[in-house]
Chains A and B, each alone.
Chain A
């Protein structure tokens, strides 16, 4: 394990960004999101949760796939270049790392998504352990240890130092490139901080959230529950929950008319939207109740059914914080639990 003084972090960021694009939590107009590092970026490592998850780094909200250009009678098609330069995502939390694991299941299984894969191949994840989890966090319910993130490099901010521990080959190569800024360290300070944080995790209000009864085998039972009709009522049908979510992976493909051609792009879609998965025959979910149900069924039933029991929620709690109507996956799980208990 290595250490670097907090005060020297700008030098570390500068050093990394000399050879690689570096994304990290940056405050812009009062909100912290992952953004490219620049000399004058207002980096905020103290922010526990960025508004959006860092999934943009691998699955951007909008990306061009190819461009068609028409000149007289000639049509040319230019595919978008794939990511071919290494880049670093610094400060990603354990829940969001797990979120990328969820995305991997979707985009790296056959047929492999080449755009996503190119970014995954070239992306280096430097995770940052959580020190002060908040009341909306429930990553523990999904077996995630926020004090011990598993990425290419794991880091911890303790006192005046950042501790750095490479875990993969990619992580070791990045470490070699910046090693001159580091001093060797033992892990006693980190262990102490981990203990402190774990004690807080035990006290979190959602600590006891149980996912019992949610798995790939309960499709009909959960789908047909009358509870959905009640639960969806306050939903405004906006896409906030899906767009701040680290695991939501649905997208739409659209054309942008450039005048002399077409830019074909894909962008995040939301199951909350009225034209979600609309086909020639129409839409297979015609009510907001059905669209609302889709989101939670996908995360807690359909995804585990298709991915060896893996849920596609990581308990980051962004939806808990951001839903305009204060709805969220925790309330859904609790409502089903209560219903079950009442019977």
Chain B
């Protein structure tokens, strides 16, 4: 981690960048927060460990409006989001100095707690120099252990890979974390009967409290004013008044980010009710792959996007699915 701090100091000192966007150590083992660092002294609080799951690309929309360059640390998957934002002209490449930072899989504190581990005082084994096999957790109720792999964020089990798609330089090695098939969960849902599907989503979405965390964290949701916030239309919604509205928000959002969602998994990471929101987006990704050929949003900014590009050979929308 010190390499990152040292490099950030250099780039600040030689005037390449005016600020650094990274993660600041929290007051617990697992709660670092996204943060700007303006000086060498600020960087004493910089941290990069297994709990730095937050994707910083979306912060670059605001950072692009600031004076001078911002050094931003992007994990391989975050770089897809940045690229997609670039393609949509929402971030300014010239305002960003990107250090592609290695990743060994990020951890999900909710999963650790689900293992019955509570009263967490310390967690070791979360540093980039650690082996990523076992976490040793000191708690108010005695010392506990759990497997690193078991408590990774869902997205890391289906990681897109160790390569950054956009960067100025890279630092630290990544680790292969894949141990699941990306579309496995989607296929399971596809096999359900319409009634079962309805039940499944009803149960998941009725937990929604409309906090908008999924939308606000989503790099694909970059509208200046969301239709659900607009007071100019009847579309503004602050609460799910009925079961229809519970679903409407999420389904409209899924449609809106279809073809642009890089499957960064932030929506599921931040949902306070643990709704597996990525399943919607992943279903769209799977369908798009099947209809128009494999496509990964954010991978290549020069590639035509399947839903905004037409070719005569494109399949008709009602083909097969009716």
CA distance A326 to B25 in the complex (A): 10
Known: A28-B207, A29-B207. A239 touches B274 (CB 8 A): no
Q: Pick from A62, A200, A204, A325: contact of B240, CB below 8 A.
A: A62
Q: How many A-B residue pairs have CB under 8 A?
A: 135
Q: When the two chains form their complex, are residues B209 and A243 in contact, meaning their CB atoms are under 8 A apart? A: yes
Please, what's the 1-or-0 string for B209-232, where 1 marks a CB less than 8 Å from any CB in chain A? 111110111000000010001010
B87 at the interface (CB under 8 A from A): no
CA distance A188 to B258 in the complex (A): 61
B146 at the interface (CB under 8 A from A): no
Q: Pick from B231, B234, B239: contact of A268, CB below 8 A.
A: B239
CA distance A197 to B213 in the complex (A): 34
Chain A's interface size range is 35 or more
- Contacts A132-B118, A234-B59 known; 4 new A-B pairs at CB < 8 A: A134-B140, A204-B140, A265-B241, A325-B33
CA distance A238 to B18 in the complex (A): 28
Q: Pick from A29, A62, A273: contact of B229, CB below 8 A.
A: A273
CA distance A237 to B226 in the complex (A): 13
Q: Pick from A30, A134, A325: contact of B274, CB below 8 A.
A: A30
In the assembled complex, which residues on chain B have CB atoms less than 8 Å from the CB atom of A236?
213, 216-217, 270
In the assembled complex, which residues on chain B have CB atoms less than 8 Å from the CB atom of A322?
272
A67 at the interface (CB under 8 A from B): no
Q: Pick from B209, B216, B234: contact of A52, CB below 8 A.
A: B209
Q: When the two chains form their complex, are residues B272 and A51 in contact, meaning their CB atoms are under 8 A apart? A: yes
Q: When the two chains form their complex, are residues B118 and A48 in contact, meaning their CB atoms are under 8 A apart? A: yes
B35 at the interface (CB under 8 A from A): yes
Q: Pick from B32, B140, B212, B273: contact of A326, CB below 8 A.
A: B32
- Say whether chain B's binding surface is mostly helix, strand, loop, or mixed: loop
Q: When the two chains form their complex, are residues A269 and B207 in contact, meaning their CB atoms are under 8 A apart? A: no
CA distance A97 to B204 in the complex (A): 28
Which residues of A line the B interface, CB within 8 A?
28-31, 33, 48, 51-52, 61-62, 132-136, 200, 203-205, 233-234, 236-240, 242-244, 252, 254, 256-257, 263, 265, 267-270, 273-275, 278, 320, 322, 324-327, 330-331, 334
Q: When the two chains form their complex, are residues A324 and B141 in contact, meaning their CB atoms are under 8 A apart? A: no
- Say whether chain A's binding surface is mostly helix, strand, loop, or mixed: loop
In the assembled complex, which residues on chain B have CB atoms less than 8 Å from the CB atom of A28?
203, 206-207
B307 at the interface (CB under 8 A from A): no
Q: Pick from B36, B204, B207, B241: contact of A256, CB below 8 A.
A: B241
Instruction: Give min CB distance, A334 to chain B, whole Å.
Output: 7
Instruction: Give min CB distance, A91 to chain B, whole Å.
Output: 17
B179 at the interface (CB under 8 A from A): no
Q: When the two chains form their complex, are residues B34 and A267 in contact, meaning their CB atoms are under 8 A apart? A: no
Q: When the two chains form their complex, are residues B229 and A275 in contact, meaning their CB atoms are under 8 A apart? A: yes
Instruction: Give min CB distance, B106 to chain A, whole Å.
Output: 13
A257 — nearest CB in chain B belongs to which residue?
B234
CA distance A234 to B59 in the complex (A): 8
B236 at the interface (CB under 8 A from A): yes
Q: Pick from A203, A278, A324: contact of B231, CB below 8 A.
A: A278
Known: A51-B272, A135-B120, A257-B234. A239 touches B207 (CB 8 A): no
In the assembled complex, which residues on chain B have CB atoms less than 8 Å from the CB atom of A135?
28, 118-121, 140
